[in-house]
Structure 1
Amino acid sequence: MRLTLAAVGRLKAGAERDLLQRYVQRIAGAGKPVGLGPLTMHEIPESGRKTARERRREEGQALLAKRAGDACLICLDERGTALSSAAFAQFIASLRDRGTPEAVFALGGPDGHCESVRTQADRTIALGPMTLPHGLARVVLAEQLYRVLTILAGHPYHRG
């Protein structure tokens, strides 16, 4: 099953981008044995519209366009359900095992998600109750996806 992160905004060069690339590379190597990956990144330009509502709508349309066919759309939102790493691994494994071709993780812009992204999402998850900068949220998701692969492979990276 392919993994895609569609995120609003551009991640500038620096520590967050470097760490994200490190996890993308790890996922590419660790994913094949468990039938997952690679992690593909899609950066959606931030909207230049005047109101937050218009920005959310425009960015939401671009995020929804990254979902193709039978892909599972997973909305990352603070109102979502926070999962343990083990529960997240079970969820991803269940998608893979039922033949889902792709999991698309949608990360909204500074104004959040529009209602259409939330309603069309197959699942809404939170990375935790705290608000994270978007670059760090990408890194946290990538690390958790790598952790999922190691859990499914029985690798000692996850000791919880």
Structure 2
Amino acid sequence: MRLHIVARGKIGRSAEAELVERYARRCRPPLKLTELPESGGRLPEPSAPVRMVVLDERGTAFGSEALAAKLSAWRDEGVRETQFHIGAADGHPEELRRSADLLLSFGAATWPHLLVRAMLAEQLYRAETIIAGHPYHRAG
């Protein structure tokens, strides 16, 4: 299953961009990354079937193993792509939130958008290693 991060704004050259790229390359297939303008722009057309995850402070916080289980179940259902949407500073349009298959939260704290990209990329790589039984994730 292809994992696709769709984010508002440009990440440019930064430490966060290096982290995103590092984890994107480790994923198999590599994470797909799409940047959209802060407002407007066209959402990418997904390959079907697709699941859409919207990162939102009002969403559900998943542990790494629970996120891996969710992705594994979707993959087993024949889902070809899962898109993860990171909004701009003002969040997501209500229409996008309503159409999401999952609202995902990284907790009650407010995180910088660039850091959220890096955190998400790492969690997606971690989920892949959990599913594969790789020792990268050491459950306690």
Which range, TM-score by smaller chain? Answer: over 0.9
Q: Quick one: which amino acid aligns to residue 59 of structure 2?
A: G
Q: Which structure has the greater CA radius of gyration? A: 1
Q: Residue 86 of structure 1 corresponds to which residue in structure 2?
A: 65
Task: Give, in whole Å, the separation in 2 of the partners of 1:78 and 1:66.
Answer: 25
What pairs up with 1:1-160 in 2 under 5 angstroms?
1-27=1-27, 31=28, 37-47=29-39, 58=40, 62-63=42-43, 65-160=44-139
Runs of 5+ consecutive residues of structure 1 not aligned to the other structure = 32-36, 48-57
Which deviates more, 148-157 or 86-95? 148-157
Using structure 1 for the length normalisation, give the TM-score: 0.82
- Between Structure 1 and Structure 2, the one with more helix by share is 1
- Asked if 2 retains the 8 angstrom alpha-carbon contact of 1:81 and 1:126, the reply is yes
Runs of 5+ consecutive residues of structure 2 not aligned to the other structure = none
- The Cα shift of 1:66 comes to 4.1
Q: How many residues align?
A: 139
- Asked if 2 retains the 8 angstrom alpha-carbon contact of 1:23 and 1:146, the reply is yes
Q: Percent identity?
A: 45
What are the superposed Cα offsets for residues 84-143 of structure 1, whole Å, 9 maximum, x if unpaired?
100000000001000001000011111101100010011111112111111100000000
Moved over 3 A (4+): 65-69
Secondary structure in 1 matching 2:3: strand
Using structure 2 for the length normalisation, give the TM-score: 0.93
- The Cα shift of 1:70 comes to 2.1
- The Cα shift of 1:68 comes to 4.5
- The Cα shift of 1:67 comes to 3.8
Q: Quick one: which amino acid aligns to residue 40 of structure 1?
A: K
Task: Give, in whole Å, the separation in 1 of the partners of 2:5 and 2:21.
Answer: 13
Q: Quick one: which amino acid aligns to residue 34 of structure 2?
A: H
- Asked if 2 retains the 8 angstrom alpha-carbon contact of 1:66 and 1:104, the reply is no
Task: Give, in whole Å, the separation in 2 of the partners of 1:128 and 1:108.
Answer: 16
Task: Give, in whole Å, the separation in 2 of the partners of 1:154 and 1:68.
Answer: 27
